[in-house]
Amino acid sequence: MAPANSGGGTPCACKGIRRCLVCEKFKDKVQLEATESKLVHRFSYNPETGLACGGGAEAPSFPFPGVFLWENFISEEEEQELIRWMDQDVWNQSQSGRRKQDFGPKVNFKKKKVRVCEFNGLPPSSRKLVVRMQREPELSDFRPVEQCNLDYHPERGSAIDPHLDDSWLWGERLVTVNMLSDTTLTMSLERGLPELGLAAEEEEEEVRVAVRLPRRSLVVLRGDARHRWKHAVRREDVQERRVCSTYRELSAEFLPGGQRAAVGATLLDIALSFQGTPI
């Protein structure tokens, strides 16, 4: 069951091609089936070797840089406390069966405009997590300016479609804490990998790399994993309620020396006051 405080109103927030188990009852079945017709080359990410590995001993493998996995980033007690704090706030409906809470500036990515006025910072519960992140060399200079909490429920068919995060406002690293259940982050690349002999001849063909995310782990995407490979969470990989918090840093344009450094400084001051409520 979804939390009682998860936000009311319409039963579904899906638009366009987005879908969940609620709205699929009304959408064209032919259209839905067409979205699943791709030929897929499947690999699994091995965090110990940094390789994307095929299914058998003779299957190819290749380096898959840009993923950093930190298992047991939070304890069971911390997880329970974080979820309790989140569930005290309203969960707003989002697309593809998700619910969300946003702690960040209002952004119009098309017009490249940022509104600071309603932003009041990251939530107090994140202060100790950010300090802990910064003890890891991979994240020593990570200063998040936005946090998005997402709530996934299998009974709603929750998922998030393959996408690349914005790189005009958001910087190099995407940091996500995975809570309540294990899941898989699916990295995908259309048209294959010609350098490995995995060139796709048709548009309906892609390479996928499954990155397993244990419960209470933290994952960082950067480099090719951030800018070249799309990332998604598929419906079949949400078997129990799953909550994640994704933290984003500023791009170079909003940092010292950038064209919008003054705006960036204001955003960081607000974000790192840790006095935020969802906007």
pTM check: above 0.85 = yes
Q: Determine the pLDDT at residue 5.
A: 43
Edge-to-edge order in the sheet of strand 99-103: 67-70, 218-221, 170-179, 242-250, 146-152, 99-103, 92-93
Q: Determine the pLDDT at residue 1.
A: 35
Q: What percent of the chain has pLDDT over 90?
A: 73
Q: Determine the pLDDT at residue 9.
A: 47
Q: Determine the pLDDT at residue 63.
A: 94
What residue ranges do the domains of the chain occupy? 66-183+213-271
Distances, alpha carbon 140 to alpha carbons 20, 125, 172, 229, in Å: 38, 20, 14, 24
The C-alpha atoms of residue 40 and residue 204 are separated, in whole angstroms, by 9
Burial of residue 127 (number of CB atoms within 10 Å: 0-12, 13-18, 19+): middle
- Across the chain, mean pLDDT equals 89
Burial of residue 115 (number of CB atoms within 10 Å: 0-12, 13-18, 19+): exposed
Q: Determine the pLDDT at residue 12.
A: 80
Distances, alpha carbon 258 to alpha carbons 96, 189, 254, 255, 263, in Å: 36, 31, 5, 5, 10
Q: Determine the pLDDT at residue 23.
A: 82
Q: Per-residue confidence at 72, pLDDT binned at 50, 70, 90?
A: very high
pLDDT of 244 over the 50 cut = yes
Two tokens, residue 254: 């909003």
Answer CATH for 66-183+213-271 from 3.40.50.10490, 2.60.120.590, 3.40.50.300, 2.40.50.320: 2.60.120.590
Chain segment 99-137, per-residue pLDDT in tens: 999 999 999 999 999 998 889 999 999 999 999 999 999
* Torsion sign over Cα 66, 274, 79, 106: negative
pLDDT of 2 over the 50 cut = no
Chain segment 11-61, per-residue pLDDT in tens: 788 887 777 877 877 665 545 555 556 678 899 999 999 999 987 666 788
Chain segment 129-161, per-residue pLDDT in tens: 999 999 999 999 999 999 999 999 999 999 999
Average pLDDT over residues 190-205: 63
Average pLDDT over residues 54-77: 89
Q: Determine the pLDDT at residue 245.
A: 98
On whether the CB atoms of residues 198 and 153 are closer than 8 A, the answer is no
The C-alpha atoms of residue 234 and residue 220 are separated, in whole angstroms, by 19
